[in-house]
Structures are given as C-alpha cells and as structure tokens.
Amino acid sequence: MTKIDTSSPENVLPTPSHTVGPFYGFALPFRGGEDIAPQGHPDTVTVHGHVYDGEGRGLPDALVELWGPDTEGNLPTTDGSMRRDPATGDHLGRNGVEFTGFGRIQTDADGHWYARTLRPGARGHNAPYVSVCVFARGLLVHLFTRIYLPGDEAALAADPLLSRLDTGRRDTLIARDEGNGTYRFDIRLQGEGETVFLEFQ
C-alpha cells in the first residue's frame, strides 16, 4: 500500500474531473411526468421529439423538463406534480384535475420524449411558449430553451427573442405542426441545426 503525505499541499493529488451523469435513474424521473394537462382538458396538445447529440444520435438518458403557462398565459401556482402519500411515502402523481405547468420526461432508448400539456397562452409581449430545460450526459451545466407553437405568425414575428434571430436559428425554436394537436420539437445539442439555447444572468 502506498501512503501519501497530505500534510504538504504539493503532495496532495488532484481529484479527477468528470462530466455529469448519467445519474438520472433514481428520484428524478417520476411516474406520469409527461402528463402535464389535466385529464380530458379540451386544450391539450402533445409535443414530442428527440434529443440529439452533435453527431445526430439520439440520447437515451437525457431529461427534458417543461414549464408552461395555462391557456390564458397565467403561471400556475398549484403544487402536486410529484405528490406523495403522507402515510406511506408512495408516489401519487398528479391529481388529474389541476394544471401544474411542470413536467419532467426521460428520453427512451432512441432519445425520444413526449409530453401532453395545455396550449400556452401569451404573456406580455411574448408569443406563447413553453420553457424547456435539458439535462444530458456530457453537459456540465443544463441547457435552457423554448418551444414556440406555430399558428400565430404575427405574434411569432413580434416576439422579442425570435425577432432577434436570423431565420435558420429562429426555426430551431418553433415546433412543427403535425396536425391533430401534435407538434414535433427536436433538441439538437450541437452541430448542424443546433437548437438556440438561452443563458440567464
């Protein structure tokens, strides 16, 4: 056994660095995380897509978090996305009635994710959008972006963020309408077509 004298700073070996995860198997994903909209709500939309790495491969262990306002643009204040039974500690999930605006989804083996949420209403001068946070292997810091839904071209053109981007970059933030209330939104972490990510100061 080799002993190292740690009484002197020059004898202390540095701790090796490592990247984040994937450490998502315990506690972070929760049952029903993709079902954000109350059951049977008429304004429910489905948003889905893939999380891709720089080489275009789907990431099987990414987490996608969504936060969105209700259909009137109000931010929900309801607790309960991850309710637990106070007696047993078991996970109860949402109550299926109230809108919390929050969801967390783990990608599948192909990097695919989906969520059912309410179509967001506009807030202030912004076009309606859902906020997104992405956690994935190799990311030392999680990434933030937005999902804008198509349909109101005037609102999209006037949005303070979208109006500052050129067309190619702008399009990475707008979901594609697939019909029947379903929208496709792929998240590309880098490379060609990289999603626009936001930095909050």
Which pLDDT score is estimated for 69?
95
DSSP count for the chain of H helices, then E strands: 2, 9
Please tell me the distance from the alpha carbon of residue 173 to that of residue 126, in angstroms, as a whole number. Answer: 13
Helices (H), the chain: 153-158, 167-170
The bridge status of strand 44-52 relative to strand 187-188 is: parallel
Q: Which residue has the tokens 């990431």?
A: 59
The bridge status of strand 44-52 relative to strand 182-184 is: parallel
pTM, full prediction: 0.81
Tens of pLDDT along the chain (201 residues) come to 444 455 555 666 666 555 555 555 556 777 788 989 888 889 999 999 999 999 999 999 899 999 999 999 998 887 665 566 667 766 555 666 678 899 999 999 999 999 999 999 999 899 999 999 999 887 878 999 999 999 999 999 999 999 999 998 999 999 999 999 999 999 999 999 999 999 887
Please tell me the distance from the alpha carbon of residue 183 to that of residue 66, in angstroms, as a whole number. Answer: 14
- Half-sphere CA count of 3, side-chain side, radius 13 A: 2
Q: How far is CA 63 from the centre of its chain?
A: 7
